[in-house]
Amino acid sequence: MSRVCELTGKVAMVGNNVSHAKNRTKRKFNVNLLKKRFFIAEEDKWVTLKVSASALKTINKIGIAAAIKDAKSKGFLK
């Protein structure tokens, strides 16, 4: 399973570990993902989504129906 947020499309970033001697080695900054169930009242059903913490805050602010509609318009959900 890939580590991609299903609502925002966030993926892992690549950067460097930098030591005190300024030696650089590659590392990954993974997305803070949560597997969460949401109830969509309009469709009267439950959906399970892998969402980032920032997407969860957006859902709390605008609602799950609006967040899914926005993700579908941006092409992140089918």
- For residue range 11-31, list pLDDT tens digits in order: 999 999 999 999 999 999 999
Alpha carbon distance 14, 2 (integer Å): 15
Contact in structure between 44 and 55 (CB atoms under 8 Å): no
Average pLDDT of every residue of the chain:
95
Number of domains in the chain: 1
SS (H, E, C) 20-58: CCCCEEEEEECCCEEEEEEEECCCCEEEEEEEEHHHHHH
Indicate whether 43 belongs to any domain.
yes
Structure tokens, 4: 């991609």
Alpha carbon distance 5, 10 (integer Å): 5
- Between 20 and 77, name the one with better pLDDT: 20
Q: Give the range of the structural domain holding residue 49, as residue numbers without chain letter.
A: 13-74
Indicate whether 2 belongs to any domain.
no
Indicate whether 4 belongs to any domain.
no
Indicate whether 34 belongs to any domain.
yes
